[in-house]
Amino acid sequence: MLSLSDPRWKELRHAYGEAADVPNLLQALASSTGPKADFRDEPWFSLWSRLCHQGDVYTASYAALPHIVHIASEADGPVDFSFFALPAAVEIARQAGRGPEIPEVCVDDYRRALEQLVENVSLHRNDSWDRSMLLAVAAAQAVAKGHIDIAEALLNLDADGIAKINNDEFD
């Protein structure tokens, strides 16, 4: 993984420009892994807005993802659903061509992190999961196994969509 103190973070980009601020956000995340009450809670709000902004991803997204996955693997107790949803969303966007190529320095760590998502699901299997967590976990597993279209459907699924599926109400 690209060290959080590595000067190359300044060369990486996120939605708002230079990614030199991402290591501090990842450090904050490591000390605050539990579920958040609101999507605007930090550091997740800033991580999402920088790394997967309106469905687009950036070179910093690929460098940050292994850190996010690693933090989840080390966390005791319940974690926020974004530990699964953000990595899934980044890979969905990458596969859809909504971001640059993965920088060479990040390729191996990025791929290993995607594989680690399955293990992270297992590590947190005894935590309490609400609907958001269940969908994020399923999407992360789908991404890790290469089922990008299913992962995207899971991340876009809401209560109305579930009701339509259950009631065979398709357009």
* 61-91 pLDDT tens trace: 999 999 999 999 999 999 999 999 999 999 9
User: 103-149, pLDDT tens digit by residue?
Assistant: 999 999 999 999 999 999 999 999 999 999 999 999 999 999 999 99
Split at pLDDT 50, 70, 90, the class of 39 is confident
For residues 64 and 103, is the Cβ–Cβ distance under 8 A? no
| Six token digits for residue 170 | 């398709």
23-27, 44-48, 155-159: range with lowest mean pLDDT: 155-159
Q: Which residues make Cβ contacts (< 8 Å) with residue 54, sequence separation at least 6?
A: none
Pick from 87, 79, 88, 61: nearest CA to 122? 79
Q: How many CB atoms lie within 10 A of CB 2?
A: 20
pLDDT of residue 170 exceeding 80, the answer is: no
Percent of the chain at pLDDT exceeding 90: 92
Please give the Cα distance from 157 to 38 (Å, whole number). 19
What is the pTM for the complete model shown? 0.95
What pLDDT score was predicted for residue 171? 63
